[in-house]
Amino acid sequence: MSHSSAHSPAEHAVDDHDHDVAAHVRTYLIIFGALLLGTVLTVAMYYVDFSSMALTVAVALFIATIKAFLVAGYFMHLLSEKKLVFGVLILAAIFFISLMGLTLWGSGDLPRNSDFKTLYVP
């Protein structure tokens, strides 16, 4: 896209994707609604008794992950991002998953269910 020097500086900012941006605004508002709905759902789940802590945690983290996907994918434009950004994030994901995996693996070796008074003296 070429500009003559007669254009105001702001017009330089307008690129070929101008019309796409207007369409994107609609998407942003839909995602906004979905995120608010997700928040209501997260809180509603708290009042449901799943009778299993593992299931409760799984449901809460599942909803949070979907919300995170919406924010990263649309607000942060990750769905249409260049390869290099994914390279950086895949590396971070590998380290993050390793960290959480080692945490859960190692937690089995720690003492638990001991009498709190032997550990905690106020």
Residues engaged in binding another protein (CB under 8 A): 9-15, 17-18, 21-22, 24-25, 28-29, 31-32, 35-36, 39-40, 42-43, 45-47, 49, 56-57, 60-61, 63-64, 67-68, 71-72, 75-76, 82-85, 88-89, 91-92, 95-96, 99-100, 103-104, 106-107, 110-116, 119-120, 122
- What is the smallest separation between the CB atom of 105 and another protein, expressed in angstroms? 11
- What is the smallest separation between the CB atom of 12 and another protein, expressed in angstroms? 6
Structure-token pair, residue 113 = 């269910």
- What is the smallest separation between the CB atom of 79 and another protein, expressed in angstroms? 13
- What is the smallest separation between the CB atom of 6 and another protein, expressed in angstroms? 16
Only one residue has tokens 């249409």, namely: 80
Please check whether residue 24 is in contact with residue 16, taking contact to mean a CB–CB distance below 8 angstroms: no
* Contacts (Cβ under 8 Å, ≥6 apart) of 72: 78
The rounded distance, in Å, linking the Cα atoms of 121 and 103 is 27
CB atoms within 10 A of CB 50: 13
Structure-token pair, residue 1 = 């896209």
If the CB atoms of residues 79 and 104 are measured against another protein, the closer one turns out to be: 104
If the CB atoms of residues 6 and 104 are measured against another protein, the closer one turns out to be: 104
Please check whether residue 60 is in contact with residue 47, taking contact to mean a CB–CB distance below 8 angstroms: no
Structure-token pair, residue 36 = 């608010």
